[in-house]
Amino acid sequence: IILKDSHILDERLATAADSAARALILDEMAHRVIMPYIVMSTILVLLGLLLRFAHLPEVDTEAEDEAVGEANLNKTSIWQFPHLLLGVLALFFYVGVEVIAGDTIIRYGQSLKIPMESAKYYTSLTLVAMILGYLMGIIFIPKYISQGNALKICTILGVIFSLGAILTPAHITFTMPFVDLVTFKPLQLVLPLTVLFVALMGLANSLVWPAMWPLAITGLGRFTKTGSAMLIMAIAGGALLPLAYGKLAVNYSTQTAYWICVPSYLIIMYYAFFGYKVGRKQ
């Protein structure tokens, strides 16, 4: 909705007579954001009211079973749970790469000289890849694969797709069929292979959050509320890592900037294989 006819806006910007004319065109683009956010805000308010008046059971976060109570007997601070702290760090980088995969892909395509008519759909590719991952999780977890193993696979895929985005020559391009998710109009997208790897990062990201969260709060007992709050604070990675990507893109190139994703996925991978066990009694 927001990017509808955005290629026309690009053409108008390129031919604008002066900075005042360009400012008016950009304001027109910015105003498109207002209505979708009003709709989303209204829906969230309604959901909040429904939750307020819904008769949901209270969760006793202070309760501890005997084993957890014994393990936490001498613990007085949330900082005494290294597996949680590592989980916060891993979640910070996860949210960062999740946002990078969705928010940078359009400009990345444009930097490779892909017309806006195709590039504006690239974020949709990332989201479709994520939804595909969600559906695979519903089908395969836990019947065929454990949540922990799914997390490990996702981190490995994240590293592979990041390296694919970085190392694939930008000139390798193909055309693929797609459907406009708003109008359902069939399309033919021009898609560089390197951009496809960025979109596939959505698949790698899809099952990370629901798998990491329980690993990080396991065994916290009466500290669960504080631990959960710290994990929520890790969402700040979604604000900070894209800034770092942007800085790298300006100083080097939009493709080179994706190197920031490799160590990020390696940190998440460490947590998936080893970090969640640090400091815990097995």
pLDDT tens column, 156-192: 999 999 999 999 999 999 999 998 877 788 989 999 9
Nearest C-alpha neighbor of 119 from the set 132, 138, 106, 101: 106
Q: How confident is the model at residue 238 (pLDDT cuts 50, 70, 90)?
A: very high
**How high is the pLDDT of residue 64?**
63
Q: How confident is the model at residue 60 (pLDDT cuts 50, 70, 90)?
A: low
Q: How confident is the model at residue 19 (pLDDT cuts 50, 70, 90)?
A: confident
Q: Return d(Cα 143, Cα 147) in angstroms, integer.
A: 10
Q: What are phi and psi of 156, to 5 degrees?
A: -65, -45
Q: How confident is the model at residue 263 (pLDDT cuts 50, 70, 90)?
A: very high
pLDDT digits (tens, 9 = 90+) for 108-118: 999 999 988 89
Q: Is the pLDDT of residue 136 over 60?
A: yes
Q: Which residue has the higher pLDDT, 76 or 100?
A: 100
Other residues' Cβ atoms within 10 Å of the Cβ of residue 171: 10
Residue with tokens 């949330």, as numbered in its chain = 78
Q: How confident is the model at residue 27 (pLDDT cuts 50, 70, 90)?
A: confident
**How high is the pLDDT of residue 70?**
72
Does this model's pTM top 0.95? My answer is: no
**How high is the pLDDT of residue 62?**
63
Q: Is the pLDDT of residue 12 over 60?
A: yes
Nearest C-alpha neighbor of 120 from the set 14, 191, 35: 191
For Cα atoms 260, 213, 246, give the angle at the middle one, nearest 5 degrees.
Answer: 20
Q: Return d(Cα 133, Cα 207) in angstroms, integer.
A: 7
Q: Return d(Cα 64, Cα 153) in angstroms, integer.
A: 32
**CA–CA distances in Å: residue 131 to residues 154, 202, 207, 275:** 14, 8, 10, 27
Mean pLDDT (whole number) for 193-211: 97
Mean pLDDT (whole number) for 19-34: 77
Nearest C-alpha neighbor of 162 from the set 222, 241, 81: 241
The crossing angle, in degrees rounded to 10, of helices 208-217 and 261-273 is: 50
**CATH number 3.40.1190.20 is the correct assignment for the domain at 81-277:** no
Q: Which residue has the higher pLDDT, 26 or 249?
A: 249
Nearest C-alpha neighbor of 195 from the set 248, 141, 258, 130: 258
